[in-house]
Amino acid sequence: MADRSVERAWTHYWHSDRLASCGGAGERQYQPVIVRHWHRVFAELETPPHLLDLCSGNGALAILAGRYYLEQRGIAADIDAVDQARVDPGRWLTQHRSWVAKIRFHGGMAAESLAFPNGSFTAVIGQYALEYTDMDRALAECVRVLAPRAHLAFVLHAREGAVVQHAMAQQTEIARILALDYFSLARDLARATAARAPQSVLTSLQQAFKTRSDRLKVLAIASREPEMYENIMGVTGHALGHVSDCPVELIVAKITEVEDALHYHALRTEALTRAALDERGIRQRLASLLQQGFEPIG
């Protein structure tokens, strides 16, 4: 994840009460099928475990591992979690705080440059992680920090999968929203209202803004995620409703915050679709690992 704008987008995303980026929702961990997969993986790993969760985000996989070992094996796993984004789940998560406290999080650490000694871990794991990195360099680092008889275990984005297809659809929707110039008009309207601009200017801006708002409502009807549109219009409309009793630059800042969040979302979905691997790419990675002496588990 070398692109600093993408890094900022992920930092913005993880500076919230979110646990998982895909395969879960909001504060929840992964869907049952993903949980079952990882439980099967954990059952194969050496104990006592010292795990490295690569590209961890706010720690969904690290927490899942910690709970599995303690609740099902009676073992306290030793877990480090790294992410190039400036993650700080102890500050942002309202749930799972006791589990977060058991994990060492290292924000701002690239997978291609791990600050751990050789042979430190019994396993390196990652849920939607490796494919976001420079994989050759990241895998070399993973191999370096693995102990003898250790394991690598990753779940990757498949280019043909539902998550990637959903991300591609979101990119199209975000592009349509940004093309409307909705946020720029909202800021102009806020400033003109606060400055008590001539009525002709206000009327023109109000009509233009209403036209964009009506267009967003039409797009929302056809969308798989109408709540995204509802949130945009709701927050922007609420901000404009307080022009008379709030400093206008606070109103403008709130509108810009919504726009920035949409831009960040676009960067994340673009990164996801770029990172996704097709079947050929996955087979090439597996072949490379087999050549290095790794063997499939399970």
- pLDDT recorded at residue 134: 92
Residue range 185-233, pLDDT digits in tens: 999 999 999 999 999 999 999 999 999 999 999 999 999 889 999 999 9
Measuring CA to CA, which residue among 108, 161, 167 is closest to residue 282?
161
Tokens of 148: 């003898």
Tokens of 184: 């720029």
Mean pLDDT of 124-138: 93
- pLDDT recorded at residue 3: 66
- Confidence band of 296 (pLDDT split at 50, 70, 90): confident
Flag the least confident range among 18-27, 152-161, 226-235, 283-292: 18-27
Q: Is the pLDDT of residue 116 over 90?
A: yes
Phi, psi of 290 (to 5 degrees): -65, -40
Measuring CA to CA, which residue among 69, 71, 28, 62 is closest to residue 48?
69
- pLDDT recorded at residue 29: 64
Mean pLDDT of 262-280: 92
User: What is the rounded CA–CA span in Å between residue 39 and residue 51?
Assistant: 14
- pLDDT recorded at residue 27: 38
Pairwise pLDDT comparison (220 vs 297), residue with the higher score: 220
| Domain boundaries of the chain, sorted by first residue | 4-156+277-291, 162-274
Average pLDDT value for the chain: 91
- pLDDT recorded at residue 224: 87
- pLDDT recorded at residue 61: 96
Residue 100 parent element (H or E): helix 97-100
Per DSSP, the three-state class of 96 is: coil
Per DSSP, the three-state class of 17 is: coil
User: What is the rounded CA–CA span in Å between residue 225 and residue 211?
Assistant: 21
DSSP 167-224: HHHHHHHHHHHHHTTHHHHHHHHHHHHHTT--HHHHHHHHHHHHHHHHHHHHHHHH-S
What percentage of the chain reaches a pLDDT higher than 70? 96
Q: CA neighbours within 13 Å on the CB side: how many for 174?
A: 19
* Three-point CA angle 263, 267, 271, nearest 5°: 170
CATH of 4-156+277-291, one of 3.40.50.150, 3.40.50.300, 3.40.50.12280, 3.30.300.30: 3.40.50.150
Per the CB < 8 A criterion, the answer to whether 236 and 261 are in contact is no
Per the CB < 8 A criterion, the answer to whether 42 and 68 are in contact is yes
Contacts of residue 291, defined as CB under 8 A and 6 or more positions apart, other chains included, come to: none
pTM to 2 decimals? 0.86
User: Which contacts (CB < 8 Å, 24+ apart) does range 254-263 have?
Assistant: 255/183, 255/186, 255/187, 255/190, 256/183, 256/187, 258/183, 258/231, 258/232, 259/178, 259/183, 260/12, 261/12, 262/174, 262/177, 262/178, 262/232, 263/9, 263/178
Residue range 66-108, pLDDT digits in tens: 999 999 999 999 999 999 999 999 999 998 999 999 999 999 9
Residue range 7-60, pLDDT digits in tens: 999 999 999 999 987 644 433 567 888 999 999 999 988 788 999 999 999 999
- pLDDT recorded at residue 48: 84
Mean pLDDT of 145-164: 91
